[in-house]
Structure 1
Amino acid sequence: MFRGMLIEKDEQGYRAAVKDIDESALPEGDVTVNVQYSTLNYKDGLAITGKGPVVRQFPMVPGIDLVGVVAQSDSNKFVVGDTVLLNGFGVGEVHCGGLAQKARLKSDWLIKLPKAFSARQTMAIGTAGYTAMLCVIALEKNGVTPDKGEILVTGANGGVGSFAIAILAKLGYQVVASTGRADQVDYLKGLGAKEVIDRQLLSEPGRPLAKERWAGAVDSVGSHTLANICASIKYGGTVAACGLAQGMDLPATVMPFILRGVTLAGIDSVMRPISDREEAWQRLGEIFANPSEQAMFDNISTEINLNGVIQAAEELMAGKIRGRIVVDVNG
């Protein structure tokens, strides 16, 4: 038996609770991991609170991230004692995830712990930081260099936004952060934002084309916000879109794309090939190589245990969480 967060749905309704789980309930996989840390992401919040149709199989252990030590392996890729990392691949949705003390997984989903980080640090980064890195790589590959001008980051006080600001600032970009939380200005400037703007400037319906301002953007909001960003991107600029906090619609026109050559780069972190994941984690290790830089992770993240997950999920859905939530599943 091991402890874990379990989501169930039956004639009694939809519910989530920390329970003792029998190891026989673990799904198929060729690697069994003793989990050290997991995280609480927006998708996990939707799953635990039932506010979004994330879970597609019940019962389910949520948690789209995990890091832990291999306890059993039928794969030639990993041996007992290896520390491994997982982000996404449908874990926590269709395959039991990281918010438990044990997980059984497919070896094709795992990478070894990056040398630059401790196990806890990888979860302070987690899917949010890894996704932010993928967004920045997309901007770079489309020619958005620091000399091109300002980069906008929306949903700035969230996990993706926080890491996007920190990464971009470290690489020499001028970062403007958009947030609805005026009390977080000092936090965002501490991460490297040179300016903080109110999200309402972008969240209402706008014009098909606006004044050119942004050389690029990292957007985790979607809907009218994304449409307004595209309308105000400079000629040849790129928007990396990775979220839908405002909505999944895109009330835009083709004008920014055909008149200004704007690129809208969709960023999927869930099914990303292993090679892309390894590149992103390698870059993160290079950017935050020094212990003094890694100290920033403590400012971005808060640690809880399994018993605090349900309350934290409710607060996350209410927009009260800043940065990252790391879950010590053994705490």
Structure 2
Amino acid sequence: MFRAILIDKDDSGYRASVQTLDEARLPEGDVQVRVSHSTLNYKDALAITGKSPVVRQFPMVPGIDLAGIVEHSGHPDYRPGDAVLLNGWGVGESHWGGLAQKARLNGDWLIPLQRGFSAAEAMAVGTAGYTAMLSVLALERNGVTPAHGEVLVTGANGGVGSFAIALLARLGYRVVASTGRPEEADYLKSLGAAGIIERASLSEPGRPLARERWAGAIDSVGSHTLANVCAATRYGGTVAACGLAQGMDFPATVAPFILRGVTLVGIDSVMRPRADRLQAWQRLARDLDKGLLASMTRVIGLAEAIPSAEALLAGQVRGRVVVDVNR
């Protein structure tokens, strides 16, 4: 038996609750993991609250991230006792996820826990930090270096934004953070932000082209914000788009791309190939100042994840929420 958050939907409505389940109910998979920690991401909050159709089948255990120890394995790469982690691959949406004490998974979705990370630290990083690292790698591949000028990070108080600031600053970039919560300026500066701008300056409809400012940008907001970021990106700059907190629309023109040679790179973290995942986590182990994790992270128990989902969607959560599934 194990404890899990279970989401169900029937004639009685949509509901999420902590339940004790029989191991026999776990879905098919060739590796069974004893989960130590998971996380509460924006997508998890949508799944728990039902405010967006994230869950594709019911009942469902949410949780797009997990870290733990292999209990049983029919996969050639893993043996009992191995420390592993998982990000994405549709878990928590179409396959039972990490907000549970046990998970049965496709071994191809797992990667080894990187040396230097505990399970709790890996989940403090989670999909947010992994996505931020994928975005940083995209800027690097397109030739954006610290010498080229300022790099903008939007949605700065969120998980992806917080990690993007910390990583870029550690790598020597001058980072400007965009936030709708100016009272969090000291926190953002502690992560490495050299400047702060108000979210409102980017979130309203703007001009097709604005004054060139950003050598690069990491955007987790989308909509008008992404359009305005592209419009103010310098010649040959790169924008990594990895989120849609403001919206899925992109009300822009082609002007930045054909007049300034701006590159817009889409960042998918869910179905990313194994090689990209390993590269991102290896770079996180090398480049992330793990001393910052405490200030970026709050640890909660499994049952606390349900009420915390509402707070996350309301924009009341700073940084990362790690879920100790055994607490």
Quick one: distance in 1 between partners of 2:197 and 2:253?
24
RMSD of aligned alpha carbons:
0.5
- Runs of at least 5 residues in structure 1 that lack an aligned partner in the other structure: none
Quick one: distance in 2 between partners of 1:327 and 1:91?
16
2:128 corresponds to: 128
1:330 corresponds to: 326
Quick one: distance in 1 between partners of 2:280 and 2:156?
20
Q: 1:306 aligns with which of 283, 302, 313?
A: 302
Cα shift at 1:89: 0.2
Q: Deviations over 1:43-91 (max 9, x none)?
A: 0011001111100010000000000000000111100000100000000
2:2 corresponds to: 2
Identity level (%): 69
2:64 corresponds to: 64
Determine helix, strand or coil for the equivalent of 2:245. Answer: coil
Quick one: distance in 1 between partners of 2:140 and 2:30?
36
Cα shift at 1:285: 0.7
Determine helix, strand or coil for the equivalent of 1:307. Answer: coil
1:200 corresponds to: 200
1:44 corresponds to: 44
Quick one: distance in 2 between partners of 1:324 and 1:12?
33
Quick one: distance in 1 between partners of 2:204 and 2:149?
24
TM-score after normalising by structure 2: 0.99
1:188 aligns with 2:188: yes
AA aligned opposite 2:116: A
Q: Deviations over 1:76-135 (max 9, x none)?
A: 110000010000000000000000000000000000110021111000000000000000
1:316 aligns with 2:312: yes
Q: Deviations over 1:190-240 (max 9, x none)?
A: 000001111000000000011100000000000000000000000000000
1:150 aligns with 2:146: no
Q: How does 1:1-331 map to 2 (within 5 A)?
A: 1-288=1-288, 293-331=289-327
Quick one: distance in 1 between partners of 2:183 and 2:26?
43
Cα shift at 1:183: 1.3
Quick one: distance in 2 between partners of 1:23 and 1:138?
41
Quick one: distance in 1 between partners of 2:181 and 2:25?
42
TM-score after normalising by structure 1: 0.98
Please identify, of 21-30 and 229-238, the stretch whose mean Cα deviation from structure 2 is larger. Answer: 21-30
Quick one: distance in 2 between partners of 1:37 and 1:273?
23
